[in-house]
Amino acid sequence: MKLLAVLICLFIATICDGMERSFRVTFRVLDDEGKPVAGAKLGVSWENANATKPSERISSAESSTDQDGRVTLEGKTFASGVSYGANKEGHYAAWGLRYNFKDTRLLRWQPWNPTVEVVLKRKKNPVPMYAKRLALALPKLDEPVGYDYVIGDWVSPYGQGKFSDIIFVGKLRQEGDRKFDWNLRVTFPNLGDGIQRFMPNSESAGLRSVYQAPAEGYLSEWKLHRWRNGAAEPEQTTFDDKAGYYFRVRTALDKDGTIVKAFYGKIYGDFFDMVYYLNPDGTRNVEYDPKRNLLKPAKPRDRDLYEVGP
C-alpha cells in the first residue's frame, strides 16, 4: 500500500507538470527603520496558463497591510514565481520584485505561505538638486576633459561648462574591433574632493541610495579599465553599470585641512551611462526631489532631466 501511495503521488506530480498550482505568500512591509507599515498597498501578479486572450495571461491581486505590516495573497500559476510590489503615501515605492518558489508538492507551490519582507523607505527631506541622465562619450581622448555638474555640460572648449567638478582622461588602444584596451582615469581639481563606489538598492523603485552621502572615505582618483585580447577572448571590465558612486566636489578647506564647504552628490550607473545628482546646499543630503530639478531643460519635457527619479 505504501508503494502504491508513492506511485500515485509520482503520477500526480507528473501529470501536473506544466499545470497551474496554488500558491500563498504572506508579505510583511517594513520601513527603513524596520518598523511595520500599516495600510500599505501590496500587489502580486502571476502568469495564468488558462488564459484564452493575451490580455488575460497575467492575473493579479492587491490588498492592504494590517497593523503589523502583513498581508497574505494567493492564486494559481504555472510559473515558478510571482512578481510583487508595494507603495504607501509618504514612502518610496518598491516595484518589480520577484519571489521564486523552490519546489512543488502535489498541486501546491512550495514553500507554502512563506513570509517575504518588503522595505518601503520613508520620504524624509527631498531637496532640489542638479540631476541629469547621461549617455555619452568623451569628446577628446588622451587629455583632461572636465564636466560641470551645475551647467550639465562639458567644460569649454567642448561644451558650455565653466567649472570642472570632475576630470576625465581616457586612453584607447585598439587593434580591430575584437582587440582593444580602454582606460579611464577620474580625478578632481580640489583637495578634499573625491569619489567612492556603492551598490544602489535594486529592490527600490524610489530612493536607491542612503539618505546622506558618507562623511569620509572619498578617493581623489578612480581608475576604470575595459579590455579584450582578441575574438577568442571574452571582454573583461572593471566598469559596473549596476553600481553607483557618492562624490564630494567644490571642496574648501581651512588652514588645518578641515572641510568648511563642499557639495555632495551621487551617481547611479557607471561612466558614461549614468544619472548624476548634485546637492548645492552644502549638506550631505542626497535625497532628491524629482519635482525640483535645478537644471533647466533646453526643450519641454526633456527626458534626461524630467524623467529622473530619486
Q: What stretches of 159-297 adopt beta strand conformation (E)? A: 166-174, 179-187, 194-198, 221-229, 236-237, 244-253, 259-270, 273-279, 288-293
Mean pLDDT on 68-88: 94
Q: How far apart are alpha carbons 202 and 30 in whole angstroms?
A: 17
Question: Would you kindly state where each structural domain of the chain is located, as residue ranges?
Answer: 2-120, 127-306
- The highest-level CATH class for domain 2-120 is mainly beta
Binned at pLDDT 50, 70 and 90, residue 17 comes out as low
pTM: 0.84
290 has a pLDDT exceeding 70: yes
Mean pLDDT on 165-186: 93
Binned at pLDDT 50, 70 and 90, residue 308 comes out as confident
Range scoring the smallest mean pLDDT among 5-9, 224-228, 229-233, 266-270: 5-9
Question: What does the block give as the cell for 119?
Answer: 522595505
Please say whether the beta carbons of 77 and 187 come within 8 A: no
Query: Would you put residue 256 in left (φ > 0), alpha (ψ -120 to 50) or beta?
Result: alpha
pLDDT at 9: 46
Q: 280, 204, 296, 281: which is closest to 244 by C-alpha?
A: 204
pLDDT at 99: 96
Please say whether the beta carbons of 101 and 60 come within 8 A: no
Residue 6 CB burial class (10 angstroms; 0-12, 13-18, ≥19): exposed
307 or 10: which leads in pLDDT? 307
What does residue 9 show for φ and ψ, rounded to 5 degrees?
A: -65, -45
pLDDT at 168: 98
Please say whether the beta carbons of 198 and 275 come within 8 A: no
Query: Would you put residue 232 in left (φ > 0), alpha (ψ -120 to 50) or beta?
Result: alpha
Instruction: Dump pLDDT digits (tens) for 221-243.
Output: 999 999 999 888 899 999 999 99
Instruction: Dump pLDDT digits (tens) for 26-66.
Output: 999 999 999 999 999 999 999 876 666 666 678 899 999 99
308 or 252: which leads in pLDDT? 252
Please say whether the beta carbons of 11 and 34 come within 8 A: no
